Structure 1
Amino acid sequence: MTTSPLPPTRSILREPAFVRLWSATTASGLATWALPFVLGLAVLERALSPVELGVVLAARTAGFLLAVPVGGVLADRHSRTSVARCAGLLAAVATPVIAVGLGRSAVLMAVAAIAVGAGQGACRPAFQALTAEVADGARRQQANAAMTLAVRITTLTAPGLTALLAVVVDVRTLLLGTAVLWLATALAPPGGRAPNGEAVDSAPRARFHTQFLEGVREAGRHPWFLAGLAALTAVIATGYSATGVALPLISRDRYGTEAVLAAALTAYTAGALAGALLIARWRPRSQGWAALAGLACYGLAPLSLVLPVHPALVVAAYVLAGLGIELFNVPWFTATQREVDPKMLARVSSLDFLMSYGLAPVGLVLIAPAIDAFGAHAVLLACALVCFAAPALAALVRGSRHFSQRPGGGGP
């Protein structure tokens, strides 16, 4: 079975192939976001120590980062569907091992978590490339908006669903539930094809690192991509870190309640949902500049924490930050799928995920010592300035106005 571009006369949401891909993405997102909360419940039940929790989650992140470039190369060598299915099966098989190790062996849990993270990481570039396969150019922006909606919905619902299920089932059963979600991830994607549209042959191939470097060189052919990726990485490493570390402290110490933390995070997700719905239909004339302006809105999040403003202003800032990040993400993914050589799309996408997600933990590690050394006011202000400046500098790079090297942009 092969996938082919869908006829432009029908909504992307009515196409079975895309619905299957969307379902797989949603299942993987639920499994990904549920795991930390399930293991957090294990800490509350004293089946897992906080240190062991940190080790297991760090192991999962390591597996993700190791697998993303591997998954990118494999998804460009073979059918993207096959790669996504193998990745989902790997995570589905490894997750019950975490349940077996719970309360018995932290080492076993960590090894299994590496495999789960590897499955998660290998899925990402395959799904990104599959989106370009099942949706034609005219509807890719709508498709990417629907995919990012799946991510935001899972972010919003996974913690609550996990907490509700924890009332009636134990932690090990919840872990097995995430394994079922990974199995759904493996089974749901539509049938795929090789990146060149033909069957994959058995001819000798270049070494892995050579093929990955080909993807890096392809990315280098698009200055707007490198500039946008640098801006995205800078914003995530600073603005995201401010949210992860400073917001909980300020919510507790300045406002005397965790309600501000909860409201801000909910507002961010609500803004992101609104942004995805908006960008599904909105086509800015200068889509690159509009997207980078949206990315810069993330600077409002750390800026709102600098001064003791009313909590409503903090919540409003996070709404705008969430709105802006999706006004960036959807055109960014769409332009990458349009402009990059289809035979190298998964590798270029893996570079995207590797840089933006890979440096996020670095920011989280550094921001707390920076706050201790320089004070929260200075660090938050610096984070806000980076979030504003990085997209502005990226907008000056050739091709950034339309996220395309072609005059007037690359079309839909």
Structure 2
Amino acid sequence: MLRDSSFVRLWAGTTASGLATWALPFILGLAVLDTDLDATGLGIVLAARTVGFLVAVPLGGVLADRHSRRAVVFWSGTAAALATPLVAAGLGRSVAVMAGAAVVVGAGQGACRPAFQALTAEVVAVDRRQSANAAITFAVRVTTLVAPAATALLAVVTTVPALLLGTAALWVIAAALPPGGTRRPPSVAGRHRFVTEFLDGVREARRHPWFLAGLAALAAVIATGYSATGVALPLISQQRYGSVAVLAAAITAYTLGALGGALLISRWQPRKPGFTALAGLACYGFAPLSLLLPAHAYAVVAAYALAGLGIELFNVPWFTATQREMDPKALARVSSLDFLVSYGLAPVGLALIAPAITTAGAPVVLTVCAVVCLAAPALAAFAPGAAHFAYARAGR
């Protein structure tokens, strides 16, 4: 793959966008430590970015199917790059300016995601897409492992606004590097209204029962298991183990497990990739289960490593199957539906789990999370085509 210049450019652009996406909340967290931003302002800015992301994901899917996917990546990355300096300019001066700019940054992030997914299918041959998707996700996991320490070190010698401008430079790279694809956009006469076109993408998704079942399972796991990681893990790390060391170790183990999963699936071709992927997704259930039981700290760390390994055993075959099975004309819209449902439910789960723990208690909530994480992928395995993430329909 590294000898394919088109893929290397796509890989570098995708990695740059992922790093810029990850870095913004971490850098703004440093601004809170420097008292340039308070916790309320941080929440407002990050919420504004999430709103921009969720609004732009379906829009980006429609535009990427309507126009050149390369052009959508360019303009979405450019928008994020131009808005990021305004986030820096508002720091310590105006939360309203920062929030307004964050909406645009989030919109750039949201619009480029389905375009990148669809562009991968154009640039990479079918038999190499699993390796390509594994290489992309591996790079993203490496950045989440290495970047916190690197950013903290940079913060010693430079300012938070300068770090924010660094993310703008990453968006410039994300916009400029990816190559053009081979697809020819549809004619102007064939275009319809935005809602109609997006619903056409939904109809394409509905033609694949395995996709709907897998997406439902993914959304359930993110809304429960991911929320348990975000809310319950910090509380239990402090209350049960007396420090945040278990929190840090578990998150690190999750990332290392994900790296291992990406490496494994880049070489391994399972006979039934759908079943393998769903089994990997179910591994996330061990994370809330380890928090529920009075386990040793090492067991918690091991459970999170297993969850990380499993999530990449799911992600890579899932993306590869979506790129292979969906109508290329609707691929970006189907991908936008994927991101909209899975990422859209994550904030809902995070918002609900803390009140649920307060009302019902952590053991009850963690039990529910573990059961959902284990049961949802198991139920999805009964969908037609789930074994191979492919559904042989009449006339196909």
Is TM (by shorter chain) over 0.5?
A: yes
User: How big is the alpha-carbon RMSD for the aligned residues of Structure 1 and Structure 2?
Assistant: 1.1
Aligned equivalent of 1:50: 39
Match of residue 402 from structure 1: 388
Structure 2 gap ranges (5+): none
TM-superposition CA deviations, 1:62-93 (whole Å, max 9, x none) = 10000000000000011111100101000000
Aligned pairs for 1:342-361 within 5 A: 342-361=328-347
CA contact (8 A) 1:68 1:121 kept: yes
Corresponding residue for residue 85 of structure 1: 74
* Equivalent position of 1:9 in the other structure: none
1:327 to 313, 317, 338: 313
Identity %: 71
TM-score normalized by structure 2?
Answer: 0.98
Kindly provide the CA deviation profile for residues 32-89 of structure 1, in whole angstroms up to 9, marking residues without a partner as x: 1111111111111111111000000000001000000000000001111110010100
1:31 equivalent in alignment to 2:17: no
Q: 2:148 aligns with which of 125, 139, 159?
A: 159
From 43, 55, 63, the equivalent of 1:74 is 63
Aligned equivalent of 1:212: 198
Greater helix share, 1 or 2?
2
CA contact (8 A) 2:262 2:313 kept: yes
Measure how far apart 1:199 and its partner are.
5.5
1:93-150 alpha-carbon deviations (Å, 9 max, x no partner): 0000001111111101000000000000011001000111111111010011011112
Distance 1:175 1:225 in 2: 37
Give the TM-score normalised by the residue count of structure 1.
Answer: 0.94
Aligned to 1:8: none
Q: 8 Å contact 2:68–2:184 — kept in the other structure?
A: no
In 1, the alpha carbon distance for the partners of 2:164 and 2:276 equals: 41
Match of 1:366 in 2: 352
Aligned to 1:307: 293
Report the equivalent of 1:288: 274
Give the match for residue 146 of structure 1. 135
Tell me if the contact between 2:80 and 2:106 (Cα under 8 Å) persists in the aligned partners. Answer: yes
- After TM superposition, give the deviation of residue 192 of structure 1 in Å: 2.7
Alpha-carbon distance between aligned partners in 2 of 1:334 and 1:401, rounded to the nearest angstrom: 14
Count of matched residue positions in the alignment of Structure 1 and Structure 2: 394
Give the corresponding residue for 1:7: none
| C-alpha displacement of 1:333 | 0.5
Residue 41 of structure 1 aligns with an amino acid whose one-letter code is L
| Pick aligned residue for 2:325 from 339, 345, 353 | 339
Note if contact 1:82-1:192 (Cα within 8 Å) is conserved in structure 2. no
Kindly provide the amino acid, as one letter, of the partner of residue 293 in structure 1: A
Any stretches of 5+ residues in structure 1 without a counterpart?
1-11
User: Is it true that 1:136 corresponds to 2:125 in the alignment?
Assistant: yes
Q: 1:180 aligns with which of 160, 165, 169?
A: 169
**Residue 105 (structure 1) aligns with:** 94
Contact 1:239–1:384 (CA under 8 A) maintained in structure 2: yes
Tell me the distance in 1 between the aligned counterparts of 2:86 and 2:392: 50
Deviations 1:219-261 (A, max 9, x none): 0000000000000000000000000000000000100011100
Query: Deviation at 1:308?
Result: 1.7
Contact 1:21 1:190 (C-alpha < 8 Å) held by counterparts: yes
Matched letter for residue 25 of structure 2? P
Tell me by how many angstroms 1:158 deviates.
2.2
* Residue in 2 that maps onto 1:61: 50
Structure 2 CA distance for aligned equivalents of residues 199 and 309 of structure 1: 55
User: Which of 240, 243, 246 in structure 2 is aligned with 1:257?
Assistant: 243
Match of 2:217 in 1: 231
State the match for 2:84 in structure 1: 95
